[in-house]
Amino acid sequence: MKEYKAVPMRDGYGNALLKLCAADPKVMVLDADVAKSTRTDWIKKEYPDHFLDMGISEQDMVGTASGMALGGLIPFCSTYGVFLAGRAWDQIRTTVCYNNLNVKLGGAHAGLSVGRDGATHQALEDVAIMRVLPNMTVVVPCDSLETEKATLAAAAYPGPVYLRFGREAVPVITDEDTEFEIGRARHVSGPELRNAGEIADAAIFANGPMVREAAIAAEKLAAEGITAAVYDLHTVKPLDEEALLAAAESAKVIVTAEEHQLAGGMGGAVSEFLSVRHPVLMRMIGVDDSFGESGSPDQLYDKYGLRAENIAAAARGALGR
Amino acid sequence: MTEERERLMAICRQVRSDIVSMIGKAGSGHPGGSLSATELVCGLYFGGILKYRPEDPEWEGRDRFILSKGHAGPLLYSVLARAGFYSPDEMQHLRELGSILQGHPHAERIPGFECSAGSLGQGLSVANGLAFAFRRTGHPGRVYCLMGDGELQEGSVWEAVMTAAQHHLDNVCALVDYNHVQLDDTVENIKALGDLCEKFTDFGWNAIEVDGHDVINVVEAYKIAEALKGAPTVIIANTVKGKGVSYMEGDPAWHGTAPNAEQLERALSDIAGGNGFEKYLEEDYDSEEEAPEGEVSPL
Ligand SMILES: Cc1ncc(C[n+]2csc(CCOP(=O)(O)OP(=O)(O)O)c2C)c(N)n1
Ligand SMILES: [Mg+2]
């Protein structure tokens, strides 16, 4: 297994914001008293006039950002995913999305990776409640470099965007040259099913830190003679329908993997689309209708079944192997 | 009174030691806001104010304590253990997989803990709801709710402030741990609270200001609050974040950082040596003459 350097994804968010502030006077960075955790304290230090710490007032932060967007600025609201998507949901729905405002939302410390802080801080529902909103774009990058690219892309992408990243340092599996485009699933390994004539036993769509687990799962499966195509489905909305249809046509089973509730997450989005457009055998990996709890991230990934082995087992099971 | 003060201060030292020890062992957690509210919560639980039965945590007749600033779980974890709700050994497992003592409190798991918390700005509404329930069922109990000063930046707190005043919920007693520090910086630098006493009284509350590290004054403030009828009361406790551990005091960096082994040792010796307590140990208090310093602003 190749060795990768581990970097927290929020570093990518901070790096992108530094670049954006250097280049564009319209960019504003807002935080709700967790600037040290989200890396927006880098902006506070380097570009204080681009930064506003709103205090422990998430709803006020999103409302203020909405006004800024109405005034032509490009605000990035930053706090933990639970409090951003959760606490300010109605502001995000009615003010940001109904007005289709150019407000960007950076949801940090999402998923189980918050570890010891426990269930109250582990956002496992944020993708569901963000993706259900009209006009919203939802992006879940897989490592710090992809987070940086996603953040830069979000600034240039019109309308509301929710970016989601975890707390722990995760292996940087992409490099500077890896392509990233909002709305386009990234081929990671195995057959590229979008090319005519390519087929696979399984197609695995993963996002966030689960992309690496999916790649490991595919290697395990390959050793058993099962071919798997792996995609980084970083954009949960709008879905890459072309990639999903190609996979549904060219693979016997589709497996999704995410650090989120099974209900309403990326797997749910894939299933909503394919069950109507191209029904195919599916398996979903995620948290099964449960809150998280305190523990090390590794213990939690084991306990909640978010491992390469769980993905591989799901593929095997569906294939009857 | 000197004896009572000694007794309560010894409990506070024990609780502070528990707080830094369990967070040190866990390797993560929030010491600052647990240490600043120690006298507030110890005065309530051990000063004869709060009615509870450790052997029967669900006892109908109990008063309720709602911890709104859930990150101060370790303070309650120690207080409940020392009050006898469960074994102090549980504190060895703070933040571990399967522990009853989660990073932020999960009430279902903890005997004596009333309401899960960790998302700021929600507790006072819950306290109001309990107060309504008490009123409707003829329950004579009181409801206490501890909030941070940074937490008061949540708009929902002020929604609840207005609810309690509107309905004259005089069985509600809000506690503000006014330690002037939140996560990123001081409260003054982020979003200042201005004259907090006046804010509450303008909203129709009684407000009592107290030295939040003088445990006897804290207990007296609870008694005054209980006697005030017709409106809810807030106790604004002037405190120091990280109180009792010299290197943590007033420093935002210790909001959510665990001490390492060496720092823990220094913390424990500060606490045992009574850093900040000498004042009370040396002075001789006369119980008859002692009056609370609290300033009462009537309706
Ligand atoms: C709704 C919400 N927003 C943000 C946080 C993250 N957070 C936890 S503690 C804290 C600072 C709290 O400051 P304060 O209320 O002054 O508490 P204390 O000083 O008593 O520790 C923040 C921002 C949270 N837990 N909940
Ligand atoms: Mg504070």
Q: Of A3, A46, A58, A259, which one is the catalytic site residue?
A: A58
pLDDT for B139 equals 97
User: Cα–Cα distance between A113 and A103 in angstroms, integer?
Assistant: 26
* Cα B8 to ligand 2 centroid, rounded to whole Å: 23
Mark which of A171, A206, A240 sits at the end of a domain: A171
A25, A72 contact by CB (below 8 A): no
Among the listed residues A130, A84, A111, the one whose alpha carbon sits nearest the alpha carbon of residue A291 = A111
Same domain, A225 and A152: no
**Which tokens hold the place of A122?**
């582990």
For residue A3, the surrounding DSSP H or E stretch is: none
The answer to whether residue A42 scores a pLDDT higher than 70 is yes
**Tokens 């106790």, residue located:** B235
Residues B162, B137: Cα–Cα separation, whole Å: 23
pLDDT, one tens digit per residue, over B59-84 is: 999 999 999 999 999 999 999 999 99
Q: Same domain for A17 and A160?
A: yes
Instruction: Give residue-wise pLDDT tens across range A197-237.
Output: 999 999 999 999 999 999 999 999 999 999 999 999 999 99
Q: Report the 3 state secondary structure along A49-66.
A: HHEEECCCCHHHHHHHHH
Q: B274: pLDDT confidence band, cut at 50, 70 and 90?
A: low
Q: Which atom of ligand 1 is nearest to the CA of B118?
A: 25
Given B70, B97, B118, which is nearest A299 (Cβ)?
B97
Instruction: Give B-chain residues touching A54 at CB under 8 angstroms.
Output: 191
Would residue A116 count as lying in a domain?
yes
B120 in contact with ligand 1, CB cutoff 6 A: yes
Q: Which residue has the tokens 């797997």?
A: A267
- State the distance from the centre of ligand 2 to the C-alpha of A107, rounded, in angstroms: 24
Closest residue to B95, CB basis, from A41, A83, A116: A116
- Asked whether residue A227 is domain-assigned, the answer is yes
Residue B1's pLDDT band, with cuts at 50, 70 and 90, is confident
Range of weakest confidence among A110-114, A280-284, B48-52: A110-114
**Residue of chain B minimizing CA distance to A31:** B184
Length of chain A: 321
Tell me the C-alpha distance between A115 and A187, whole Å: 30
Contact of A219 with A315, CB cutoff 8 Å: no
Task: Say whether B219 sits in a helix, a strand or coil.
Answer: helix
Beta partners for A146? Answer: none
CATH number of the domain within which A53 lies: 3.40.50.970
Residue range A113-127, pLDDT digits in tens: 999 999 999 999 999
H or E element: which one contains A216? helix A210-223
Which tens digit of pLDDT belongs to each residue from A259-292?
999 999 999 999 999 999 999 999 999 999 999 9
**End position of a domain, from candidates A112, A137, A171:** A171
Cα B250 to ligand 1 centroid, rounded to whole Å: 15
Write out the H or E segment, with its range, that includes residue A162.
strand A161-164
Total domains in the fold of chain A: 2
Nearest CA owner, ligand 1 atom 17: B148
Identify whether residues A163 and A205 lie together within a single domain: no
Residue A136 lies in a domain: yes
What range defines the domain where residue A58 resides? 6-171
Q: Is the CB of B141 under 6 A from ligand 1?
A: no
Domain membership of residue A246 (yes or no) is yes
* Distance separating alpha carbons of residues A302 and A287, to the nearest angstrom: 11
Q: How many CB pairs under 8 A join A and B?
A: 88
| A281-287, strands of its sheet edge to edge | A186-189, A228-232, A200-206, A251-261, A281-287
For residues B269 and A124, give the distance between their C-alpha atoms in angstroms, rounded to a whole number.
Answer: 41
Share the mean pLDDT of chain A: 97
Q: What is the per-residue DSSP string for B105-163? A: --GGGSTT--S---STT-HHHHHHHHHHHHHHHT----EEEEEETGGGGSHHHHHHHHH
Q: Is the CB of B103 under 6 A from ligand 1?
A: no
Phi, psi of B237 (to 5 degrees): -100, 115
**Dist CA B175 CA B168 (whole Å):** 17
Residue A139 DSSP SS3: strand
Give the Cα separation of B284 and A94 in Å (integer).
62
A244-277: buried (b, 16+ CB within 10 Å) or exposed (e) per residue?
A: bbbbbebbbbbbbbbbbbbebbbbbbbbebbeee
Asked if residue A201 and residue A155 are part of one domain, the reply reads: no
Give the C-alpha separation, B13 to A313, whole Å: 53
Q: Whose CA is closest to B212, among B241, B237, B244, B183?
A: B237
Q: Mean pLDDT lowest for which of A3-7, B30-34, B156-160? A: A3-7
Convert the pLDDT of each residue in A135-154 to its tens digit: 999 999 999 999 999 999 99
Spell out which residues of chain B touch residue A303, defining contact as CB-CB under 8 Å.
Answer: 97
How many domains does chain B divide into?
1
Which positions in chain B touch A35 (Cβ < 8 Å)?
184
Tokens read off for A65: 């950002």
Which residues does residue A202 pair with via DSSP β-bridges, in sequence order?
A228, A253
Q: What domain range includes position B278?
A: 2-290
Confidence of residue A1 (pLDDT cuts 50, 70, 90): low
Tokens representing A21 are 């502030």
Q: Is residue A291 part of a domain?
A: yes
Q: Tens digits of per-residue pLDDT, B109-135?
A: 999 999 999 999 999 999 999 999 999
A56 to B99: CB separation less than 8 angstroms, yes or no:
no
The answer to whether residue A176 sits within a structural domain is no
Which of B95, B116, B150 is nearest residue A33 as measured by Cβ atoms? B150
CA distance to partner chain B, nearest, from residue A60 (Å) = 8
Assess if residue B297 is contained within a domain.
Answer: no
Tokens matching residue B90: 């549980």
Which pLDDT score is estimated for B282? 38
State whether A163 and A195 are in the same domain. no
Residues of A with CB under 8 A from a CB of B: 31, 33-36, 41, 53-57, 59-60, 82-83, 86-87, 116-121, 293-296, 299-300, 303
Q: Give catalytic status of residue A58 as yes or no.
A: yes
Token digits of residue B223: 């008694």
Write down which residue in A171, A201, A220 finishes a domain.
Answer: A171
